[in-house]
Chains A and B, each alone.
Chain A
């Protein structure tokens, strides 16, 4: 049975949950878990004061429940096991994680999966800015997969080096900005400055609206992005389904950003000329 931690009341001050990993909590009894110290503002508070505790993390599963929108760092440095959040979480969820999986059933704050290297994150709601990117260190994700059922803010996949991000809704400005490589799929609308400064990597824009492509991207040919037929089953395996017919639809390819290495690719379902 999983370890269930349910918020007792609504906290407006930020709660640091970056140390509460399944592997660490697994050998502990509920009373020992309750004695763990959490940083709330500048004070150390017993975990048991904030959360009611039941079950055990012996099976590597931790379930957080309630309003955790002020809790940051859930799943930080996660290596194995499963973290489920029945509610919304604050910033830096899954930051620098290396393995395991996180499911957020509500929305997530900024920097979901910041600089993550492996594992999967599934956000059923929407996300804030900097998905996959850690603005404190200026580095992006180097592996793993983030899928978002809602929308995401600005700078999705900024400085991504490896790994995959898929967003069902729209994304804000500056998607895959300064990307080194990696793959980002956006099913809704994308804001301006997408791909600015990208060196390599791929951005798939699956919305029918004309994309905003920077003038330093060069219009390429129309092709079927067969790479999607390899990627879509992987995304489906973590609960993010995309119509497989996308892999067989003609898409317009743009090469760029020519101000950087220029080996990046933006695939757009819209066949126009980047209006």
Chain B
């Protein structure tokens, strides 16, 4: 196959005003932002203060600041600046000698780049990290086991008169969630916005969001499954041992009954759960999510309820979709035998690398070393690594080959999926001489 050519558009100054900009700073994936460069600084400026983002959102500022390009060569091989062609040849050599290459960190790039990454894993018969995080994988597994009643966030905006937050604090983690989707917007069936909605907060650690709630239920920490068993039991008419309920959940059965009555009176309810907040482990998140999904399914016997997980920023949802439609599987996939096999004995790239069960790694738009204990860093030194990232990170600094790529939503466009499965088109707010992740990955696929 002919190698695709990478066009290098001229670098332009960030003087434009842009509207309908997509932010991937949190799982809201707001697509209504306006950006304006406040001076005539060049796109190489690393000063986030130069960019005005409206409406103001602290996480969005942080997100865009992280995308600002730095000066530097487009490709480094062992710290030596080289052309992109030399870089791709070096990657080919790495992939050709590896017996089990890992392709990971795909949750911050576009669907188009993710699709190329799946092709790359398939061509080189490697291992593909097909989920955003171990917690996201467990929630996905819970949905497969329990079934999931869900909707788009637009439907929640138009219809929900009862909003339940289960161990979730969107005020902090998803700053514009209330404004855009769940609490304040005026919808077709909730014309007065907040006045027509009831906010119920259920959880174990009160937070900024619980302060805004009309009803608060605080149960014993880590007892989500017990609390949800009680709520399901009440809906199912199960005879419950009152003392046991109080002892296990820290809440009287009468409170749970009143809550169930309120929920049953909802015309349309939406339950939001943040799997990244409370559980001690990914397994807890799976159990909690499974119980929540079963509870929501039961609520649908008398009224309408939907479940939504508050996801992390980026395009983890897109990754799940791409992996599903290209391979028919989900999770961590091993293409070693030629057909994708789901790996169930590992949770993360760190697991695979620390067991040394992969012998090369390619990370796309991610910095895994940032999340690892420094003691674990040396393990990455045993294997050759390839990194695609826009700025210098711990992982890119130690990489065998580092491609500097144009960051998605800032200097590169593409498609991303919101957590509710709605596809959004991302348009860059500046152009860049750097290639996108998709372009580099497509080159690598063509070289295979």
Contacts and interface: CB of A to CB of B under 8 A. Distances in A.
A215 B241 CA distance: 7
B244 interface: yes
A109 B98 CA distance: 25
A43 B99 contact: yes
Contacts of A135: 141, 342, 344
Interface string B329-349: 000001111000110110000
A12 B344 contact: no
Nearest to B286: A174
Contact of A216 (B145, B232, B355, B357): B232
B356 A12 contact: yes
Interface in A124-175: 128, 130, 135-136, 138, 154, 172-174
B99 A13 contact: yes
Interface in B225-276: 225-226, 229-230, 232-233, 236, 238-241, 243-245, 247-249
Interface string B348-368: 000000011111000000000
Contact of B236 (A41, A42, A259): A259
B344 A91 contact: yes
A70 B226 CA distance: 37
Interface residues of A, number: 41
A90 B345 contact: yes
B247 A275 contact: yes
Interface size, B (range):
35 or more
Contact of A196 (B126, B225, B358): B225
Given A41-B100, A91-B344, A135-B344, A215 B336 contact: no
A250 interface: no
Contact of B344 (A40, A130, A174, A197): A130
B8 interface: no
A110 B357 contact: no
B5 interface: no
A258 B287 contact: no
Contact of B355 (A12, A41, A215): A12
B144 interface: yes
A188 interface: no
A13 B359 contact: yes
A246 B266 CA distance: 51
A8 B100 CA distance: 21
Given A13-B357, A43-B99, A138-B144, A215 B344 contact: no
B294 interface: yes
A67 interface: no
B342 A136 contact: yes
Interface in A201-251: 213-216, 218-219
Interface in A31-86: 39-43, 70, 72
Interface string B195-239: 000000000000000000000000000000110011011001011
A14 B229 contact: no
B284 to A, nearest CB: 8
Interface string B104-146: 0000000000000000000011100000000000000100110
B283 interface: yes
Contact of A193 (B233, B245, B287, B357): B287
A111 B345 contact: yes
Contacts of A23: none
A77 to B, nearest CB: 16
A258 B99 contact: no
A105 interface: no
A258 B241 CA distance: 12
Contacts of B345: 72, 90-91, 109-111, 128
Contact of B229 (A39, A43, A172, A216): A216
A153 to B, nearest CB: 9
Contacts of B98: 41
B4 to A, nearest CB: 25
Contacts of A273: 241, 243-244
Given A42-B335, A214-B229, A274 B357 contact: no
A265 interface: no
A178 interface: yes
A138 B145 contact: yes
B337 to A, nearest CB: 6
Contacts of B225: 192-193, 196, 214
Contacts of A196: 225, 229, 287, 291
Choose among B229, B291, B359 the residue with the greatest number of A CB atoms under 10 Å from its CB.
Answer: B229
Given A215-B230, A215-B240, A216-B229, A70 B357 contact: yes
Nearest to A136: B342
B336 A39 contact: yes
A40 B99 CA distance: 8
A112 to B, nearest CB: 11
Contacts of B334: 14
15 contacts: A13-B357, A13-B358, A13-B359, A39-B336, A40-B99, A42-B99, A42-B124, A42-B125, A42-B337, A91-B344, A110-B344, A110-B345, A215-B248, A218-B241, A273-B244
Given A41-B99, A135-B342, A259-B232, 9 more contacts: A16-B337, A41-B100, A70-B357, A110-B344, A135-B344, A173-B287, A215-B233, A259-B229, A259-B238
Interface of B: 98-100, 124-126, 141, 144-145, 225-226, 229-230, 232-233, 236, 238-241, 243-245, 247-249, 283-284, 287, 291, 294, 334-337, 341-342, 344-345, 355-359
6 pairs of A and B residues whose beta carbons are closest in the complex: A41-B100, A41-B99, A42-B125, A12-B356, A258-B238, A91-B345
